[in-house]
Structure 1
Amino acid sequence: MLKKIIALFFAFIILLVSFIGCSENETQKDGQPRLGITIYSYNDNFLSFMRRNIESMLTGKASFIMNDSENDQAKQYDQIDAAIQRKVDALAINLVDPMSANMVIDKAKASGIPVIFFNIEPRLEHIMSYDKVWYVGTRSRESGDIQGEMVLNAWKSNPKWDKNGDGKIQYLLLRGLAGHPDTEGRTERIKAVLTNNGIVLEQLDEQTANWDILQAQNIANTWIKKFGDSIEFIFSNNDSMALGALKSIQAQGYNIGNENKFIPIVGVDAIPEVIEEIRKGSILGTVLQSPKDQARAVVDMVLNVASGKDVLDGTDYTLDDVKAVRVPYKAITKENIEEALEAYN
């Protein structure tokens, strides 16, 4: 009796495996491409919205596996290797480390698999090393320009923000990941725009918080105790770090309704939590990079190349000289926050 039960059990397993194999083949017969997608970290606020948009837009159009690389480049390599072994038709990759693109491209190129990088831009020589590689993202310098213009206009409109009356902006700056193109572009350009428009800047401090809200909060805890009322502006490379700074200074009585205890903060991303703070007046402004628009470009392009079509087939996008589709930024202040909310719907 026991032998019969064991035999029936193994027969059931064999039947189940056969059924699963047929289901996969049926998906391929239906013409749906197979995709491998990796996100550098699900904990990133902006990428979490972009990821959900990608998942929603791909549902019913492709068979895909979405991976969280947990900010670990070695783990991302393993995920990409696994996708290649599954013989995916295309890869969509949000890199952990932009300098790792060459190794990722070598892996994909060996199997002839096209790659759409997004949000974290590889180096030019890496993109150009393979004819089946493209990029979706923004121009890092543009967001810094918009931040700079936002600060410039607000500073000129609010002379009381010059607390010591010296005509200079005493500022603090929260940097993203060291070496990241967005970090470098935003940091450089916000300063350049202000300086080129006659604003004298005095840096109190500049620290790397790796896009992270808690790291930024810890840094700002030290800042507020050290510099206090001498802080006239906080520049942040993204919104998560801007929120961390806000939480820190609010704990010390700043930006909670008393106009005499206010430190203007600017960020980048226009995530909903920051939009709410802009509405309340506790954060000055941010720069929208639409997760919906970037997700749409990634999905359209990866579906095209996975199906053997031209990467821009059926779209209105254009490629620049580094094979990139650029999604424009937009300044967001209290006057136009509805535009940011729509982008995150």
Structure 2
Amino acid sequence: MIILKKITTLVILLVIMTCALIGNMSTSSALTMRRQIKVGVLLSNVDNPYLSSVQKTLEDIQRENIDKVQFTFYDAKNNRAIQETTINNLVQGRKVDILFANLVDKGSDSVRNLIDKARQNEIPVIFFSFAEPDTIDIIKDYKKAFVVSYDEKQTGILEGKFIVDAWNTDKSSIDKNKDGILQYIMLQASNNNVVAVERTKNAISSINNAGIRTQELALVNAYFDKELAKEAIESLFIKYGNKIEAIISNNDAMAIGAIEALQKYGYNKDDKSKNIVVVGVDGVQEAKDLIDKGIMTGTIIHDPRLLAEALYTIGMNLVSNINPLEGTNYKFEDNGVEVHIPTEVYGKSVSS
């Protein structure tokens, strides 16, 4: 009888302790949801029109959720040292609850540096840029690290298909020297930028796979910058002139710079006989306007709203210790840590 009473008392105590623990966990979770989450947003270069759009969209989300989240933006100005100093300042003392990271250097050393610091302070990290294959295992090794990005291989393929469609539709106008070969200039961000290289490689392979022979007149590393691209095309036009049949750009900013340069020489204006195919990536409004006017051929839309919303939702889930994809329609890629935001095309319909 005494033993039975002791067992009963022990069971009651265990029930009370369990209820108290669950209550504390629920209270902790509720507090997490109620308090304002501090997010550090690392931007490689806010002068990039697309990143600027992402920042603006996150600011809109903050205004819509003023009691839930506070974004603070840190512009690295394309300087890795500046960005790493910012990372050190933020993670020490846990000044943020989570980091959204668009790294200047997307290589394994840079990714590992951020992961190691975040892990030491138990800060979740969401990278928002294309992840190099050799960084995936580094990211997977930290259970609070994920990637939100675009399928850059598909982006390049779709960009190339704009060229293919234009060539098949109006080859006589594009092939100015009638040699059956597409002479083009590639406006690439940088040889060291994995996003740029992936877009470049797949755009050209898409054209070649369609049976169109190509000749690269020049490859310009213009660092996603409109003015650098404009200066480069102004110079290259003097050298190549009417030999240029297409300009393929890693982003819209450089494509717009190229068009401004061409217009200086009377091209891509009102005279359709003096038009050079120009394609870009991002879907910024200025590019869309040029496409609507027939001045630019097409762009691949990377919707900043979709990206920002995915970052926000997945980020809040991580901070709240629930399934990262809760409340979304996304699924992880085969690597288990990467989510791809869908892309669209803007311009003449692209063949499938």
Global fold match (TM > 0.5): yes
Out of 75, 79, 84, which is 1:77 matched to? 84
Following TM superposition, by how much is the alpha carbon of 1:79 offset from its aligned partner in structure 2, in angstroms? 1.6
CA RMSD of aligned residues (A): 1.7
- 2:338 corresponds to which residue? 324
Out of 147, 159, 180, which is 1:147 matched to? 159
- 1:110 corresponds to which residue? 120
Out of 269, 279, 286, which is 2:282 matched to? 269
| Secondary structure class of the residue paired with 2:185 | strand
Q: 1:157 to 1:334 in 2, by over 3 A?
A: closer
| Equivalent AA in structure 1 for residue 161 of structure 2 | E
Q: Which runs of no fewer than 5 residues in structure 2 stay unpaired?
A: 1-30
CA offsets 1:4-59 (integer angstroms, 9 cap, x no match): xxxxxxxxxxxxxxxxxxxxxxx979422222211111101011111111122134
- 2:60 corresponds to which residue? 56
Corresponding position: 1:91 with 2:99: yes
- 2:45 corresponds to which residue? 41
Moved more, 173-182 or 183-192: 173-182
| Secondary structure class of the residue paired with 1:116 | strand
| Secondary structure class of the residue paired with 1:268 | strand
- 2:204 corresponds to which residue? 191
Q: 1:202 to 1:29 in 2, by over 3 A?
A: closer
* Distance (Å, rounded) in 2 between the aligned partners of 1:221 and 1:131: 49
Count of paired positions: 310
| Equivalent AA in structure 1 for residue 129 of structure 2 | N
Q: 1:334 to 1:198 in 2, by over 3 A?
A: closer
CA offsets 1:302-329 (integer angstroms, 9 cap, x no match): 1111222221122221111231110121
Q: TM-score, normalised by structure 1?
A: 0.86
- 1:235 corresponds to which residue? 248
* Distance (Å, rounded) in 2 between the aligned partners of 1:272 and 1:103: 36
Q: Is the 8 A contact 2:190 2:197 kept in 1?
A: no
CA offsets 1:119-160 (integer angstroms, 9 cap, x no match): 243522321231111000101111111011111011110022
Q: Is the 8 A contact 1:267 1:287 kept in 2?
A: yes
Following TM superposition, by how much is the alpha carbon of 1:80 offset from its aligned partner in structure 2, in angstroms? 1.7
CA offsets 1:183-210 (integer angstroms, 9 cap, x no match): 1111111111111111011111111111
Following TM superposition, by how much is the alpha carbon of 1:85 offset from its aligned partner in structure 2, in angstroms? 2.7
Following TM superposition, by how much is the alpha carbon of 1:177 offset from its aligned partner in structure 2, in angstroms? 2.7
Out of 182, 202, 206, which is 2:219 matched to? 206
Corresponding position: 1:292 with 2:305: yes
Moved more, 113-122 or 146-155: 113-122
| Equivalent AA in structure 1 for residue 142 of structure 2 | Y
Q: Is the 8 A contact 2:130 2:152 kept in 1?
A: no
Q: Is the 8 A contact 1:254 1:261 kept in 2?
A: yes
